[in-house]
Structure 1
Amino acid sequence: MIRALTGFSTRSPWKVIALWAVLGIAAALLGQAFVFRASQPGNAGFLPAQYDSAAALKIAEERFGVKPDADLLTVLVARSDGAPLGAADEQRIDAQAAQMSRQRVAMPRPKDPMPLAQDHSQIPRVSPAMTAPDRAFRLLSVELTGHAADPGVQATYRAFRDSARDLFAQEGLRTGFTGGIGDRVDTADAEETRSKVVAIIMLGVIVLLHVLVFRSALAALLPLLAVSVIGGAATGVVVGAALLTNTGLADSTPGLINVVLVGIGIDYFLFLLFRFREQLREHPEQSGREAAAEVAGRVGTAVTSAALTIVAAFATLGVASFGQFRVLGPAIALAVLVMLLGSLTFMPALLAVTGRKMFWPSRALKREPRAGSAARLGDRVARRPLTLVLASVALLGALAAGVVGMRMDYGQGGAGADRTAAVDTAQEIARALPAGVSDPTSVFVTASDGGALTVERLAGLSGRSPGSTASARSRARC
């Protein structure tokens, strides 16, 4: 089976390359267009049904009409001159909130529109929430809908934010936006440049290492090109499978798939490249196509066993109790199978087409390589294995010592956090109100006696200490 695939790929390389170019790129484009339709917003839907948050989500949907893709937002409105809000100011704020809840927010047209992209234009739900005790600001609760990671939804939020800011500025009021999608968009904007720089550096390091090893531009660039095409096709296949099976993916799944496939895909191509170079060096009379067929048939067995081991490992996550892992494991396993198919077809076809030109202008094919630093290090390891094991453990222990006493902070404004407008707004709210007000948690309470709930019956909850509310929590879903 393996030799049949690699043999066909090296006998008809241009057909295989054309097939991957057409189907692979088409699958990648469709995957990008439908990825957020196949993704499930948030993590609540992945939790087992017996968890309180999962039960609360079901109650919110069935009894209160809350949509699972609701994007909540807290808007702070204050006087531009810093003076306390008066009764007239509150009336103006509430009037503008009512006006915004009737106006449709149009999604801006992107500079590079994706095919089959959804229009996320919508009418937001805007309602007054509360006024600070010192009357420094008034809070509005806003609800948009759509997957918060979708660039189209984020563009709609930016349009709403700019429109609301201009609307209140005309009344002499300033605004701040935080919580939910506001935090996410501001964080993404703050990290956009850094993410691009990191990606460019990573690609540059990979290309540089390949140039230093192979002394060839093709050998440095083709692995990245092949992995990009196959990885895009794999993401498209996973998204398509999720849509066909009505399985909601986590929004982090495509990114994790890319990380896994870039690592193993480049490894598989390097296996082929090193063995291909050895074959051409040892058999100068062979053509590039013949050498590629011989190498792909041999290395294909090792690549297949390695890939199937990864597939089996990730597939075991399919029995996890946490839904996100239960979906992530089979998704990555399916993506690795697509990468395996590409490693047995697309990569050998590229070797067959390029032949000896793959290593141009290097002259390494014409001479036997000399033992390098890696070979000398290997000899030392073989002579003194125990000494080097102990030295390696000591070095790793010294490097790991830095994590002792380290504390992770996942809150807004923690150590190392970017100073974004959403963080500043949340901190301004926290100076006058409890910190959770900027991103509130809903609590659904039912009466244990089956009677009707009134404001008076719930009034005592807000004044109790955490320890005294233990009995109340057993009747709550949050």
Structure 2
Amino acid sequence: MFRRIGEIVVRHPVWTIVAWVIAAVAIVATAPTLPSTSDESSFLPSSYESIQAAKLQEDAFPSAFTPSAIALYQRTDGAKLTKADLKDVDRITRELGGKHIDQVQKVVPGQPSTDGKFTTTLVQMDSKNAGQPKQADAAKVLRTDVKQLTKGTDLEARLGGSAAQALDQQDSSKRGQALIGIGTFLIILVTLLIIFRAPILAVLPLLVIGLVSTLANGLIAYATKLFDLQANSSISSILIVVLFGVGTDYFLFLMFRYRERLRAGDESKEAMINAVGRVGEAIASAAGAVVIAFLALSLSTLGFLKQMGPALAIAVAATLFAGLTLIPAVVSLIGPKVFWPSKSWQREPENARFAALGRGVRNRPALTVIVSGLVLVVLSLGTFGYKATFDLASGSMPKTKESMVVQDSMMHAYSAGAAAPTDVYLSSTDNSPLDKAGFTAYADKLAAVDGVDGAKLSQVSKDGTTADFTVTLKYEASTDKAITTVGDVRDVAHSDAPDGSKAVVGGMSSIYKDINAAVNHDYRTVFPVAALLIMVILGLLLRSVVAPLYLMASVGLGFGATLGATVWIFQDGAGHSGLMFMLPVIMYLFVVAIGTDYNILMIARLREEAREGRSPREAAGEALRHAGPTVAAAGFILAATFATMMLAGNALLTEMGFAVSFGIAVAAFVMAMFFTPSLTALIGHAAWWPGHGDRAAEAAPAGHPETLTPARRAEETDREDRDDREPVVDEQAEPRAR
């Protein structure tokens, strides 16, 4: 099948390229705008208590005041506010309300801090558009206006709150995307120049993947709108890395095999057809594992991950299709000139490093398994210290952003939980008015919960069937202590609700607690489903039941090592209170899916060597000798590409960039090169049970000319002549078409 694909695109390269360009233009021109939200509550389904509380608030208190933006004032000299300062704040508040800014429904004065150095203006916006870009635009106008209105006074003002955080997150995301894009471009360009010493080959994948990127983004926008999914600005940054990183990997696999066929004497177009035919199954299987893993995110209960999964799956599928059609078409038009001005493509370079590594694996597989496995186990110990943090806003931007400065200032000037209080909604079960006589006692019970700074009745609905109790915690909303406390508040609110009533608890801490529960659900659902589906792909590719089991076990060990290293570096080393809550899920999928790619390439090459009559140990050594350079080059580029996410300057992408790049490095340089081939050598023929995937196709002796193609016979003869010399990128780890 893959050879047939190669024949079609190579025989009709111009039409293939034209079809891609037309499809990209049509999709980009008609695709809807990709929606985005920074509202954490939108990531949860309606079955969670925090979402039920938000719905109850909307129904019972449609005009309830919940600030979306907070203007925080203090004197420029840091002294206590004077009466004149407070008058200026009142004036500014009135004038802001009189501007009738879009989305702004109400502007009211807030309470001064207990030390008298701070006071606030509270701004309510349309709750139906919470987290949407239009409220970020409103925050931008508010920020400009409030600074303008403080001119000529002794005050300085900063704008915080959820709308301002969305604005700062948006700006930070644009800057991060630019840095990631530039870093990715330079890493791929420089690395490909070093590998091929050919400017055309260095630039070509960037141009091709750029075209694929525009098409993929259009398809993602269609899917997001069609399935009513949520989007987050961080997804765009991840997409850049996935498209260019994975796309470059597939480009390398194809070009190495194309160069191999040219060296074997194939005519240019025939070389590309053979390359697609031989490498196609491995690339398709590797991409299939990634797509399946990403689609498993659709089972997540979090809207952010539910959207990310299909988006990344679409991106990888588009990259796969380009790798099997667009890249072969373009390269077949250019021919061997694609390697200009280098002449190295005409001969196999000499190097003994991977030959030596291959001999080490062949001669001491048990020692190699023990040493590499011990490294993974030791790193995995760090997972026991893992803690999660749930503040997606502060994790998505630097602490120096204005909204983050406001949040930190309010935590010190007011009660830490004052910026995001918890609401307990008590509602009648039979639609009759609540008995107000028990409200004071109920509020006292809520206030008595350990970790609560205070509780009071805020309002009662017009029909008297719902009461809102505001509970202020002693801790900032996203901290572990706040999440634990809100769980205790829920217990008291539920158990002590007066007869004939029921309670639901809302607010940001309640949302974070539900997100924590949702993530734990995803651990139990997404992880095993992704692993099972990837094992099915491995089983179909390798025609084995045993090999997929230990391959997935090794990748799981790599995941543990990656998470452990990330915990040690960011929690223990950098002093982070915890890692972003979705990091383990994302890391698992990237490390498992992409890590499996390199295992696929190595184990497929090992099988190929075994089919030529070599013993399991000899096959493992030869697989590392010839596939090692390919895995090393691809692993380095992909790891370095993901590492560019650390340039974004926020905790979420910094942690994610390190974790995924480290995981890929472990997958390529520990698992695929040492652990997997050594373990396969030890298991021997049983690794391919119940099939015989490692047995020679013919009964002739190993390496006998009757079992080989003419090109392969020439390669074997050359190999015998240079037994002690090592080709750097002689061949790839993909299975050959039979």
1:164 aligns with 2:146: yes
Q: In terms of mean alpha carbon deviation, does 296-305 or 211-220 score higher?
A: 296-305
Amino acid at match of 1:48: P
**Residue in 2 aligned with 1:142?**
123
**Residue in 2 aligned with 1:351?**
331
The answer (yes or no) to whether the contact 1:98–1:126 under 8 Å persists in 2 is yes
**Residue in 1 aligned with 2:6?**
6
Amino acid at match of 1:58: K
**Displacement, 1:448?**
6.5
Q: In structure 2, do the counterparts of structure 1 residues 314 and 405 end up closer, same or farther at CA, with 3 Å as the change threshold?
A: closer
Measured in 2, the distance between the counterparts of 1:2 and 1:257 equals: 27
**Displacement, 1:276?**
0.7
* 1:36-115 equivalence runs, <5 A: 36=35, 39-65=36-62, 72-85=68-81, 89-105=85-101
- CA displacement, residues 367-396 of structure 1 (integer Å, 9 cap, x when unaligned): 233244223322222221122222223444
Question: Percent of aligned pairs with the same residue?
Answer: 28
2:449 to 437, 458, 465: 465
The answer (yes or no) to whether the contact 1:60–1:66 under 8 Å persists in 2 is no
The answer (yes or no) to whether the contact 2:446–2:493 under 8 Å persists in 1 is no
**Residue in 2 aligned with 1:316?**
296
- CA displacement, residues 307-334 of structure 1 (integer Å, 9 cap, x when unaligned): 2333333333333444444443333333
**Displacement, 1:64?**
4.0
**Residue in 1 aligned with 2:113?**
132
Q: In structure 2, do the counterparts of structure 1 residues 452 and 313 end up closer, same or farther at CA, with 3 Å as the change threshold?
A: same
1:446 aligns with 2:418: no
**Residue in 1 aligned with 2:558?**
none
Unmatched segments (≥5 aa) in structure 2: 452-487, 496-502, 507-738
**Displacement, 1:298?**
3.1
1:301 aligns with 2:281: yes
1:426 aligns with 2:407: yes
Measured in 1, the distance between the counterparts of 2:123 and 2:189 equals: 47
Q: In structure 2, do the counterparts of structure 1 residues 142 and 324 end up closer, same or farther at CA, with 3 Å as the change threshold?
A: same
**Displacement, 1:163?**
1.6
**Displacement, 1:164?**
0.7
Measured in 1, the distance between the counterparts of 2:239 and 2:167 equals: 23
Measured in 2, the distance between the counterparts of 1:417 and 1:242 equals: 28
Q: In structure 2, do the counterparts of structure 1 residues 259 and 57 end up closer, same or farther at CA, with 3 Å as the change threshold?
A: farther
**Residue in 1 aligned with 2:355?**
375
Q: In structure 2, do the counterparts of structure 1 residues 316 and 79 end up closer, same or farther at CA, with 3 Å as the change threshold?
A: closer
The answer (yes or no) to whether the contact 1:78–1:136 under 8 Å persists in 2 is yes
- CA displacement, residues 287-322 of structure 1 (integer Å, 9 cap, x when unaligned): 3x3322332233223322332333333333333444
- CA displacement, residues 101-130 of structure 1 (integer Å, 9 cap, x when unaligned): 33255xxxxxxxxxxxxxxx6546422232
Measured in 1, the distance between the counterparts of 2:227 and 2:379 equals: 45
Amino acid at match of 1:207: L
The answer (yes or no) to whether the contact 1:293–1:352 under 8 Å persists in 2 is no
**Displacement, 1:97?**
1.9
Q: In terms of mean alpha carbon deviation, does 353-362 or 444-453 score higher?
A: 444-453
Q: In terms of mean alpha carbon deviation, does 459-468 or 138-147 score higher?
A: 459-468
Measured in 1, the distance between the counterparts of 2:271 and 2:394 equals: 58
TM-score using structure 2 length:
0.54
Q: In structure 2, do the counterparts of structure 1 residues 291 and 60 end up closer, same or farther at CA, with 3 Å as the change threshold?
A: farther
**Residue in 2 aligned with 1:108?**
none
* Structure 1 moving runs of 4+ over 6 Å: 190-195, 401-404, 406-414, 453-456
- CA displacement, residues 243-262 of structure 1 (integer Å, 9 cap, x when unaligned): 13333344444444444333
**Residue in 2 aligned with 1:477?**
505
Measured in 2, the distance between the counterparts of 1:190 and 1:326 equals: 23
The answer (yes or no) to whether the contact 2:263–2:345 under 8 Å persists in 1 is yes
Measured in 1, the distance between the counterparts of 2:434 and 2:56 equals: 17
The answer (yes or no) to whether the contact 1:276–1:291 under 8 Å persists in 2 is yes
Measured in 2, the distance between the counterparts of 1:405 and 1:244 equals: 41
**Residue in 2 aligned with 1:272?**
254
1:203 aligns with 2:185: yes
Q: In structure 2, do the counterparts of structure 1 residues 427 and 461 end up closer, same or farther at CA, with 3 Å as the change threshold?
A: farther
Amino acid at match of 1:283: G
**Displacement, 1:3?**
4.5
Unmatched segments (≥5 aa) in structure 1: 106-120
Which structure ranks higher in relative contact order (CA pairs < 8 Å, sequence separation ≥ 6)? 1
Q: In structure 2, do the counterparts of structure 1 residues 214 and 454 end up closer, same or farther at CA, with 3 Å as the change threshold?
A: farther
SS in 2 for 1:131: coil
Measured in 1, the distance between the counterparts of 2:69 and 2:81 equals: 21
Q: In structure 2, do the counterparts of structure 1 residues 3 and 191 end up closer, same or farther at CA, with 3 Å as the change threshold?
A: closer
**Displacement, 1:71?**
8.5
RMSD: 3.8
1:238 aligns with 2:235: no
